[in-house]
Structures are given as structure tokens and as C-alpha cells.
């Protein structure tokens, strides 16, 4: 027989560990903070180990508490997902994807009709994702740029985040070599200030100081490049479709790894869910398709 000790206490502990307080757990469980504290204390007595260190105005997980929570949270997530599947009407098939705005607009949405043609009964919903947004409890999966280190999640690589300058064809005609970047307006992205210096060092031009308009997101910077405002640092796969269509060109052959990759993130139990499994098969196949060869104008060289 399974040895399940005091499930209410386990729920109270997991919620307190995840929210960081008895008060936060109480709001989630619709009980008072004092009730959560009592249930956690009873659980600790029954387990014979301390799960929290009670400090002034905060809770700190013990080593045993961290180990217990790391196992409990995926179990509760899986239980919630299973319950949602069982109680949902048979005709409702929803896939919720946590994804950043730029990735959705520049790569995923333009290809979504392909997935819809294969799986017309699955309703795809986008929710705000991005590197700084934690993985949502209601997400079927997420797409993020990073190093692959997301504890508790499976991370499957989709693309390498390679960097190369891009601009409209008329600006590219004056760019015969990377040293010609000293004059033009270099469009920057606020949350990725390292992109231009990384590429310029690889091009043996570390003394060039990128100057030009700065935007908060890649999508804004690339739209500015399409509108002829200057030269943006493009990152795959955001630039693939613009290069293929000729809206942007890559003046130089040099492409530099950003040191990060795009990953498909999901909880391990999601592989048992048919809708996510269908999406996973599709996106892995779509990501494996070679990018269109960039169009260039003028000589492609990395001499300076």
C-alpha cells in the first residue's frame, strides 16, 4: 500500500514552499496563514524532519524541504493537468504555449498554419513568455532563449542563436567590409547589449563603439532595420523570413554564436499528452528545416 502521510499538510507545505510564505499559500488554498503554518508543523512532526527554517518575516527551506518540494511540485502539476484533461469536454483540445512576442511574430505564427493543417482540432493559445518570465503552471510548453538550464523542465534545443548584421539592400551597397560599420547607424537592443561587441570582436573590430537607436526588443529593432533606419544585429531565427524574402540582407559572411540556444521547454509528463506530443513533433521538424540562404549585396567578406 502507498504510504501517503497527511495530504492536507503536504499541499500546505508545497504551496508555502512555492510561494515563499504561509500567507501566500493561504491565499492559494483559501485558508488562513495560521492554518497553513499548523498543517506544515504537523507534517514535519509526522515526517520527523524540519522542512522550513522560520526566520523573521520569511521562510527558508531546509535541505530536506528543498528535496521534498522539488519532487512534490511536478507531481501536483501533473495531477492538475490530468484533472483538466479528464474534466474537459471531449471536443475541447487546447495547447497553451508560453512564448515571447518577437519569437511568436517572427517565426512561430507565420508557420502555424502548417501545424493547424495537420491538427485542425487543437486550439493553440499564446501566453506571454520570454526569458524573464517563469514557466507558467497552465502552460503546455514554452519556448525560450537560454543555456538549457531550467531545473524541473525538459529542454530540447530548437535553434542556435547565431548573430549577424542585417539591413535593407540599399544600405548594404556601401558595406564592402566590416570596417565600413564605423559610420552607419547601428541599431541596438536594450536587453542584449553584448550582441554588437561580441560580433565586432569576432570581426577584429573591438574599438568600434555601436551608436544608434536603441529598442527594448529584437522585434522593434528588426522592424527599424526593415524601415531603413540603420543596421541591426540579427539573430536566428528572427531574421530567416526577412532574409528569404529580400526585405533584409546580410552584408557579411561572418555569423557569430550568441552562446545561447532556443529551447522547447516542458514538464516530463507532458509527453503523455497527445496534443503536446503532436505539437512537439511538428515544431522539432519545422526547426530542423534549413534556413533560407541569406541574400547579400556587395562583397561578402570579413576583412577589415
Note whether 232 and 209 are within 8 A (CB): no
- Residue 211 confidence (pLDDT) above 90: no
The ranges of the chain annotated as CATH 3.40.190.10 are 93-159+261-288, 160-259
Out of 3.40.630.30, 2.40.420.20, 3.40.190.10, 2.60.40.10, the CATH code matching 93-159+261-288 is 3.40.190.10
The ranges of the chain annotated as CATH 1.10.10.10 are 7-87
- Residue 236 confidence (pLDDT) above 70: yes
Q: What pTM was computed for the model? A: 0.65
pLDDT tens figures, 237-286: 899 999 998 999 999 989 999 888 999 999 888 887 888 899 999 999 99
pLDDT score recorded for residue 300: 44
The confidence band for 166, taking pLDDT boundaries of 50, 70 and 90, is: very high
Give the residue-averaged pLDDT of 88-110: 80
pLDDT score recorded for residue 1: 52
- Residue 91 confidence (pLDDT) above 70: no
pLDDT score recorded for residue 88: 59
Nearest by Cα to 196 from 180, 183, 208, 179:
208
Out of 3.40.50.300, 2.160.20.10, 3.30.1490.20, 1.10.10.10, the CATH code matching 7-87 is 1.10.10.10
- Residue 172 confidence (pLDDT) above 80: yes
The confidence band for 288, taking pLDDT boundaries of 50, 70 and 90, is: confident
- Which is more confident, 293 or 42? 42
How many angstroms separate the Cα of 228 from the Cα of each of 58, 83, 178, 232, 291? 52, 51, 19, 10, 23
The confidence band for 74, taking pLDDT boundaries of 50, 70 and 90, is: confident
pLDDT tens figures, 3-52: 666 788 898 998 888 888 888 888 888 999 899 999 999 999 988 899 99
pLDDT score recorded for residue 191: 84
CATH number of 160-259: 3.40.190.10
The C-alpha cell 509528463 sits at 269
- Residue 293 confidence (pLDDT) above 70: no
Would you state the cell numbers that stand for residue 172, as one nine-digit string?
A: 548594404
Amino acid at each position: 500500500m502507498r504510504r501517503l502521510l497527511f495530504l492536507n499538510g503536504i499541499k500546505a507545505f508545497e504551496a508555502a514552499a512555492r510561494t515563499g510564505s504561509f500567507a501566500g499559500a493561504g491565499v492559494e488554498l483559501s485558508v488562513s496563514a495560521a492554518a497553513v503554518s499548523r498543517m506544515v508543523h504537523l507534517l514535519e512532526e509526522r515526517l520527523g524532519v524540519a522542512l522550513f527554517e522560520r526566520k523573521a518575516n520569511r521562510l527558508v527551506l531546509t535541505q530536506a524541504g528543498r528535496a521534498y518540494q522539488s519532487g512534490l511540485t511536478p507531481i501536483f502539476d501533473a495531477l492538475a493537468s490530468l484533472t483538466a484533461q479528464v474534466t474537459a469536454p471531449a471536443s475541447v483540445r487546447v495547447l497553451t504555449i508560453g512564448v515571447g512576442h518577437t519569437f511568436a511574430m517572427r517565426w512561430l505564427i507565420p508557420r502555424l498554419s502548417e501545424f493547424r493543417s495537420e491538427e485542425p482540432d487543437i486550439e493553440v493559445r499564446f501566453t506571454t513568455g520570454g526569458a524573464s518570465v517563469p514557466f507558467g503552471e497552465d502552460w503546455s510548453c514554452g519556448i525560450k532563449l537560454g543555456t538549457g538550464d531550467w531545473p524541473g523542465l525538459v529542454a530540447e534545443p530548437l535553434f542556435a542563436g547565431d548573430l549577424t548584421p542585417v539591413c535593407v539592400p540599399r544600405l548594404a551597397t556601401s558595406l564592402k567590409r566590416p570596417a565600413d560599420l564605423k559610420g552607419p547607424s547601428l541599431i541596438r537592443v536594450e536587453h542584449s547589449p553584448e550582441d554588437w561587441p561580441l560580433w565586432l570582436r569576432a570581426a577584429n573590430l573591438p574599438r568600434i563603439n555601436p551608436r544608434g537607436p536603441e529598442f527594448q526588443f529584437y522585434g522593434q529593432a528588426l522592424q527599424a532595420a526593415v524601415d531603413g533606419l540603420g543596421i541591426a544585429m540579427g539573430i536566428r531565427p528572427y531574421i530567416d523570413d526577412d532574409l528569404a524574402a529580400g526585405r533584409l540582407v546580410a552584408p557579411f559572411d561572418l555569423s557569430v554564436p550568441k552562446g545561447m540556444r532556443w529551447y522547447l521547454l516542458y514538464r516530463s509528463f507532458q509527453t503523455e499528452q497527445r496534443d503536446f506530443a503532436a505539437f512537439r513533433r511538428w515544431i522539432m521538424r519545422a526547426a530542423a528545416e534549413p534556413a533560407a540562404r541569406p541574400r547579400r549585396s556587395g562583397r561578402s567578406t570579413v576583412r577589415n
